[in-house]
Amino acid sequence: MRIGELSRRTETPPRLLRYYEEQGLIASDRCANGYRSYDEANVDRVVQIRGLLAAGLPVRIIRQILPCLKAPRDIHFDNPTPEMLTTLEQEYDRMTARIAALEHSRAAVAEYVAAVRRRELERSVRVN
């Protein structure tokens, strides 16, 4: 399939698909006319890549774990190296810290919104 079809099927802009290819995350063949041609497996692969990026994993880590993905949520390393395990643990810790920071920010925003709502309510009670 050509890049336009892969883009439509994965809801991924062609520019990102070219970037994924440049980064070694997906591969294409070249037709005689120079157009890229992707095989069917790239549809699932792009969906996996998008999910991993959305989870906060950087491309350098995704590049390492993609060969180990059997299904979108199935990571299986036949022979995990200590370095790979350390890298994944570090990414897990980084994600955990990001989640904690987001939860802290969400709580602060909720407190601010509640305080503003209380002030609005007090003003409307005084006016009436």
For residue 71, pLDDT beyond 90: no
Helices 41-54 + 3-10 axis angle, to 10: 50
Q: Determine the average pLDDT of the residues in 53-72.
A: 82
For residue 42, pLDDT beyond 60: yes
Q: Determine the average pLDDT of the residues in 25-32.
A: 92
75-122 per-position pLDDT tens digit: 666 777 888 888 889 988 988 998 999 999 999 999 999 999 999 999
Residues 111 and 122 in one domain: yes
Q: Determine the average pLDDT of the residues in 8-23.
A: 96
Helix (H) or strand (E) segment spanning residue 72: none
Residues 38 and 88 in one domain: no
Residues 70 and 88 in one domain: no
- pLDDT for 77: 65
CATH of the domain at 30: 1.10.1660.10
Q: Are 87 and 96 in contact (CB under 8 A)?
A: no
pTM metric for this prediction: 0.65
Q: What percent of the chain has pLDDT over 70?
A: 93
pLDDT-derived band of residue 70, with 50, 70 and 90 as boundaries?
Answer: low
* Residue 6 structural domain: 1-76
| 24: region left, alpha or beta (phi > 0 left; psi from -120 to 50 alpha) | left
User: Tokens 């006319």 appear where?
Assistant: 33
Residues 88 and 70 in one domain: no
